[in-house]
Amino acid sequence: MGERLNGYMGRLAEVNLSSGCVKEDILDEATVKKWVGGAGLGAKILLEEVPPGIEWDSPENRLVFTAGPLAGTMMFGSGTFNVATKGPMTNLAGVSQANGYFGAYLRLSGFDGLVLRGRSEEWVTLWIHDGRVEIRPAAGLLGLDAWETEDAVRAELGAGERDVSVFAIGPAGEHGVRYAAIVGDRGHVASKNGVGAVMGAKRVKAIVVSRGSFEVPVYDPHALRLANLECFEAAKAFGTTWKWGTGGGFSNLARSGALPVKNYTTSLYPEHESMNGQTLRTKFEVRSMPCFRCAISHVKEVTVTEGPYAGFTGEEPEYEQLAAWGPQIGNTDLGATVMLTREVDRLGLDCNEASWAIGWAMECFEKGVFTLSETDGLDLSWGSVESVRTLLGRIARREGFLGGLLAEGVMRASRKVGGAAEQWAIYTMKGYTPRGHDHRGGGRWPELFDTCVSDTGTIQAAWSGIHPQFVDQPPLEDVFDHAEVSRVVGDFAGYRTFDDCLGICRLAAPHPKPLLACFNAVTGWDWTLRDAREAGLRVITALRLFNLRHGHDPKNERPSARYGSVPVDGPAEGRDIMSRWEEMRSDYYRRMGFDPKTGIPTAETLKRLGLEAYAPNAG
């Protein structure tokens, strides 16, 4: 075992898939105090081990699974883990989190993380148990979807539902779909920047972690217990998620113009009340499927009780899945969202990118750019859910013209088609798509801006809005004030990235102050909010340095034409975020300690964060 540090198991498992060699890397106090865990350790490994010129599907790329110091403790929702890699959507860094049990079980099996190098000659699974990693053949699992893979692996090991945590790729990962996800524990997903495609490129079908008997060392269990209860009360006060799920805010978003409706062609969705979390939980049958030690228990299994999909059972759609398979594709059948949510998870696709791609294709079909010839006979009229179901399967297996085209993601697909259709696609110029909102309205300008300037492959400062008042900063008074938007994104950046280092579900711990108290109780470090933010800024800046090395041009930190367009109706009609975009971006750079013109971190910033050795001109 490694050094016994409070909050840490003290070691990483390193697997060279090319040679089949497994070894350990010891984590020392200096490393964890600098990088914390989770997204921080992932960023460190990418920056130090993946040089420029290494492509996302190269054996020399890294795929890094890391938990954090809170994972596997008594904290509610402490099963979260982080995946870091160079991803295929951007050819830049990507970090993505998932909940469930994996992060906790990884620690209870004796490890803070798992680093995958090389590429296996044959398909394999990895089994982590009793403080070691075992490589097992997986040829018999090929072609199975993610849920079927879970079932097969559990049966092979003779393991019960909560004896092991299984995260796998589906057909999308096997076929190199650029937005393939890693899916496990019956519907939990690490989905951003194609982490599942990288796992497929390494020929790893699944990673299985047993619930071990190791214990996470905690500095002050009593203080942790009290702070954990504070987190729980803050989570209940934060919103209605604990009662109605993340879909509980669906109608409020509709009223504010923040639902993505028919690929941003309108901001109006009058059917919202029949599609929200309240309707879902009162009309359909639900039962709790909580994550590791979760008291919020917002994750449910749902059985459709009416309509054409009556009797269909799947995981309850989160808000973003309701948005993806409801308004974005012009669907008004709530049962169909349950069906499509399970389909996407089983196939191993990122629901956001899949829905933006299909919504764009539906607009192309409506406007005559695609005909039945290009769609291989599919009617892609708005609301055609069975056609969407078929198309998802074709995308996951790269079947047919449209399946192969959309498997590349909406940016590449739209550029290949060209013409007017290219202007209808929703994405950031870096190559990934936004989360499931119409960020042009509903007070979502900070999330639009954050999505475009982020270095993580998704949002980094925003989450369910942005909350500067949580850390005693002035609140955002005018959601359509350009200067205010860049201020809150720049000044709040770092706090949520620190969250992503800890191994905790944000729904269980949305408030930075009690969460920091939990962190201090586990580690005994007595950090302040400023310390926490500095740790988050270090991770963001490290990822930016990695991205700059790998060809990122900060000029691409802007939205596509449609993503940054002016709404034609709804509450945000006529509002134009792009009118002062360059000014906003320069202000953000300045607040982050980057050069206001180039977006490159300054020497002073690198020195403050202890990143001088990684400076663009160092070495």
Domains located in the chain, CATH noted: 11-210 (3.60.9.10), 243-423 (1.10.569.10), 445-509+526-614 (1.10.599.10)
pLDDT (mean) for 250-254 = 96
**Per-residue DSSP letter, 186:** T
Contact 468, 488 (CB under 8 A): yes
Strands 124-129 and 204-210: parallel
pLDDT of residue 316: 94
pLDDT of 565 above 50: yes
Each residue's pLDDT tens digit, 195-227: 999 999 999 999 999 999 999 999 999 999 999
**Per-residue DSSP letter, 78:** T
pLDDT (mean) for 402-418 = 98
pLDDT (mean) for 482-496 = 97
pLDDT of 1 above 70: no
pLDDT of 185 above 60: yes
**Nearest alpha-carbon partner for 408 in 419, 391, 395:** 395
Contact 430, 557 (CB under 8 A): yes
pLDDT (mean) for 313-324 = 96
pLDDT (mean) for 322-330 = 98
User: What number of other Cβ atoms are within 10 A of residue 287's Cβ?
Assistant: 10
pLDDT of residue 252: 95
315, two tokens? 């995981």
Alpha carbons within 13 angstroms on the beta-carbon side of residue 252 total 13
pLDDT of 81 above 80: yes
Mean pLDDT of the chain, nearest integer: 96
Q: What is the largest CA-CA distance in the chain?
A: 66
Cα separation, 562 vs 265, in Å, equals 9
Residue 14's DSSP bridge partners are 23, 115
609 Cβ contact list (under 8 Å, min separation 6): 534, 537, 538, 541
User: Phi first, then psi: what are they for 530, rounded to 5°?
Assistant: -65, -40
Each residue's pLDDT tens digit, 419-478: 999 999 999 999 999 999 999 988 899 999 999 999 999 999 999 889 999 999 999 999
pLDDT of 609 above 60: yes
Contact 347, 149 (CB under 8 A): no
| pLDDT interval class at 2 (50, 70, 90) | very low
Cα separation, 565 vs 576, in Å, equals 7
pLDDT of 155 above 70: yes
pLDDT of 618 above 70: no
Amino acid letter for position 476: L
pLDDT of residue 174: 98
Residue 63's DSSP bridge partners are 85, 116
pLDDT of residue 242: 74
Residue 127's DSSP bridge partners are 134, 208
SS3 228: helix
Cα separation, 354 vs 342, in Å, equals 13
pLDDT of residue 17: 98
SS3 301: strand
SS3 580: helix
Number of residues that make up the chain: 619
pLDDT of residue 3: 54
| pLDDT interval class at 396 (50, 70, 90) | very high
Cα separation, 502 vs 514, in Å, equals 13
% of the chain residues with pLDDT over 90: 94
pLDDT of 240 above 80: no
| 579-606 as b/e: b if 16+ CB within 10 A | eebeebbbbbbebbbbeeeebbbbeebb
Of 1-5, 69-73, 431-435, 496-500, which gets the smallest average pLDDT?
1-5
* CA 33-34-38 angle, 5° bins: 85
Each residue's pLDDT tens digit, 509-535: 999 999 999 999 999 999 999 999 999
**Nearest alpha-carbon partner for 263 in 324, 322, 332, 319:** 324
User: What number of other Cβ atoms are within 10 A of residue 269's Cβ?
Assistant: 26
Each residue's pLDDT tens digit, 92-107: 999 999 999 999 999 9
Cα separation, 451 vs 453, in Å, equals 6
% of the chain residues with pLDDT over 70: 99
